[in-house]
Amino acid sequence: MSDNVESSPKPAVGGGVWFFSGDLMFASRVRGAAERVGLAFQLLGKWPADPTSSPAWIIVDLSTRGGAAAEIRRLAADSFPQVPTIAYGPHVQADRSRSAREAGFSQVLTRGQFDAMLVDIFSSHD
């Protein structure tokens, strides 16, 4: 169900975490993981029209932003081609995971896999 689960993508220099999700409870967990290593965190519903900073990570919650995932990935590739992109979602939504893989995300994970990675996903930023 995932691509490259063993090897996490390396973050871009500078920036923070752009997290595209509508899940406020889980967003607080991702925020905590980012802030533990000194990364800024932005919870976004859509691609920012006029970004005030560059991301080091772009993460998309397929359960709440699955319909926008391909567009977010396209914009990420155009604007920040070196930034790792992660899409995650429920294992029962295999079609959304497949679409994210086809869109070119660096990693596509189940929610459980992504949750387990939160302990040290951003540690390569240190």
100: CATH: 3.40.50.2300
CA nearest neighbour of 85 among 120, 123, 64, 114: 114
Q: What is the pTM of this model?
A: 0.86
Residue 99 belongs to some domain of the structure: yes
Residue 6 belongs to some domain of the structure: no
Instruction: Determine the structural domain holding residue 103 and report its residue range.
Output: 16-125
Q: Are 56 and 17 in contact (CB under 8 A)?
A: yes
| Total number of domains constituting the chain | 1
Per residue in 74-86, pLDDT (tens digit) is: 999 999 999 999 9
Residue 10 belongs to some domain of the structure: no
**Between β-strands 41-44 and 16-20, what pairing exists: parallel, antiparallel or unpaired?**
parallel
Per residue in 16-43, pLDDT (tens digit) is: 999 999 999 999 999 999 999 999 999 9
Per residue in 57-100, pLDDT (tens digit) is: 999 999 998 789 999 999 999 999 999 999 999 988 899 999 99
